[in-house]
Amino acid sequence: MKQTKITLEENEIPERWYNIVADMPNKPLPPLNPATKEPIGPEALAPLFPMALIEQEVSAERWIQIPDEVRDIYTLWRPTPMYRAHGLEKALDTPAHIYYKYEGVSPAGSHKPNTAVPQAYYNKQEGVKRITTETGAGQWGSALSFACQLFDVGCEVYMVRISYDQKPYRKLMMNTWGAEVIASPSERTEAGRKILSEDPESPGSLGIAISEAVERAASDDETKYSLGSVLNHVLTHQTIIGQEAIKQMEKAGELPDVVIAPFGGGSNFAGLSFPFLRLNLAEGKDIKCLAVEPTSCPKLTRGVFRYDFGDAIGMTPLLPMYTLGHNFVPAKIHAGGLRYHGAGALVSQLLHDNLIEAEAVDQIESFEAGVLFARSEGIIPAPEANHGIASAIREAQRAKEEGKKKVILFNLCGHGHFDMSAYEAYFAGKLHRHELSQQDVEDAISKIDTPEIPATAP
């Protein structure tokens, strides 16, 4: 009988998160205060985050101990299985060996709880009563609702009004876990009231929802704010994915030639690839680490490396990132998790130093890949995950053309049970490729008015 799943025991859940900063040849540049353009210290983040997470955000320690209480919760779905994609290999008639790590087995259905759980834990430890956040498509809001419920911390999710109306099942999932979900813009905040006074029918945006969530956290000592990607500590939490994957590849008796993950703000990609990248940096391995972004939002492949705001309206510190500009509005593709204008500081520095690679896949190619995957492997993937599958298929087809074996590993970051309307649009021929023209990219970049990276930086 063929082996399909390579599994681990619960006592093989990693005991530490891996912080790649320790191994980076060039460390990420510091965030800047937008007013003074000077580097900000950890204390500037204290109104929004608990101290333990701020310490992780600025840490240069290679390994960060995972609290027992967090590992206990991780056992609800971790270690996640790694699959050998026998069905997909057969469908592609490729000599490549294709593996995928499946993060959709978490209760929230994606990799997001890997960081939501420790974030809820550290907030609880420091006496926080309520965590606020924003959510667009709903993956992150679901994960944080789940995590807060388990630690008995309140959860207040500002959900972009148009998603709130179009994705009632996501909202209900959050309610089932006890979260309060508020359509944004709302009457609950100054920011929301201002928008509503100008446009009572506003469909909302992620930028507005962030403003509301941050305002609530900043104005109440017992309330903090939480982010699902981009920041260093978030990426670090996700490295349990790649650490497990290394053990599983060892059990399979192979080392990947290429490691692939979809790219939104960086947490999905970092989660799988950073532990493999450590093998390159510390042990001289030569594993290609490939981030896959949508052609509609190509910050890694076509953006510029400079300081920019993390949010759309310019409330955050300035972060060093590959960006299309914080005002860039990407097309409304179904992979909502990949519609972010910039890349986190860690990934951006690594790309700048040519230690990782990136490519872009258009929406139709991504859904072709997802449907082929569902029909050969069974699991129906999330639209975000389809981007990683598409690149894995490209690699496998090249292996076939070259007539040589290649070992491919990708992150199947979530299932598509709440995204079936995207598949409906695909089957109805209603999806677009959304390739940006050169002019589109130049226009976006020309509007960026935030500081450049100093010429003296490495």
Catalog residues that contact its own copies under the rule CB under 8 A: 1-5, 7, 9-11, 68, 71-72, 75-77, 83, 87, 105-107, 109, 146, 149-150, 168-169, 172-173, 175-178, 371, 374-375, 377-380, 417-418, 420-421, 423-424, 427
Which residue lies nearer to its own copies by CB, 61 or 72?
A: 72
Angle between helices 267-283 and 240-252 (to 10 degrees): 60
Instruction: Please name the amino acid found at residue 103.
Output: E
Torsion of the alpha carbons at 39, 64, 237 and 77, rounded to the nearest 10: -170
Which residue lies nearer to its own copies by CB, 84 or 233?
A: 84
Taking the complex as a whole, how short is the minimal distance between the CB of residue 163 and its own copies, in angstroms? 15
Taking the complex as a whole, how short is the minimal distance between the CB of residue 169 and its own copies, in angstroms? 4
Taking the complex as a whole, how short is the minimal distance between the CB of residue 262 and its own copies, in angstroms? 19
Strand partners, 407: 97
Token digits for 396? Answer: 């496998």
Which residue lies nearer to its own copies by CB, 46 or 76?
A: 76
Which residue lies nearer to its own copies by CB, 33 or 421?
A: 421
Which residue lies nearer to its own copies by CB, 33 or 65?
A: 65
Taking the complex as a whole, how short is the minimal distance between the CB of residue 296 and its own copies, in angstroms? 23
Taking the complex as a whole, how short is the minimal distance between the CB of residue 418 and its own copies, in angstroms? 7
Which residue lies nearer to its own copies by CB, 65 or 176?
A: 176
Taking the complex as a whole, how short is the minimal distance between the CB of residue 419 and its own copies, in angstroms? 9
Which residue lies nearer to its own copies by CB, 9 or 449?
A: 9
Taking the complex as a whole, how short is the minimal distance between the CB of residue 82 and its own copies, in angstroms? 12
Angle between helices 139-151 and 113-125 (to 10 degrees): 40
Contact 434, 333 (CB under 8 A): yes
Which residue lies nearer to its own copies by CB, 219 or 421?
A: 421
Taking the complex as a whole, how short is the minimal distance between the CB of residue 252 and its own copies, in angstroms? 13
**CA 245, CA 254: separation in Å to the nearest integer?**
11
Which residue lies nearer to its own copies by CB, 193 or 251?
A: 251
3-state secondary structure the chain: CCCCEECCCHHHCCCEEECHHHHCCCCCCCCECCCCCCECCHHHHCCCCCHHHHHHHHCCCCEEECCHHHHHHHCCCCCCCEEECHHHHHHHCCCCEEEEEECCCCCCCECCHHHHHHHHHHHHHCCCCEEEEEECCCHHHHHHHHHHHHHCCEEEEEEEHHHHHHCHHHHHHHHHCCCEEEEECCCCCHHHHHHHHHCCCCCCCHHHHHHHHHHHHHCCCCEEECCCCCCHHHHHHCCHHHHHHHHHHHHHCCCCCEEEEECCCCHHHHHHHHHHHHHHHHHCCCCEEEEEEECCCCHHHHCEEEEEECCCCCCCCEEEEEECCCCCCCCCCCCHHHCCCECCHHHHHHHHCCCCEEEEECHHHHHHHHHHHHHHHCCCECHHHHHHHHHHHHHHHHHHHHCCCCEEEEEECEECCCCHHHHHHHHCCCCCCCCCCHHHHHHHHHCCCCCECCCCCC
Which residue lies nearer to its own copies by CB, 304 or 374?
A: 374
Taking the complex as a whole, how short is the minimal distance between the CB of residue 427 and its own copies, in angstroms? 6
Taking the complex as a whole, how short is the minimal distance between the CB of residue 3 and its own copies, in angstroms? 6
Taking the complex as a whole, how short is the minimal distance between the CB of residue 139 and its own copies, in angstroms? 13
Which residue lies nearer to its own copies by CB, 321 or 385?
A: 385
Taking the complex as a whole, how short is the minimal distance between the CB of residue 202 and its own copies, in angstroms? 25
**CA 409, CA 34: separation in Å to the nearest integer?**
40
Which residue lies nearer to its own copies by CB, 333 or 379?
A: 379
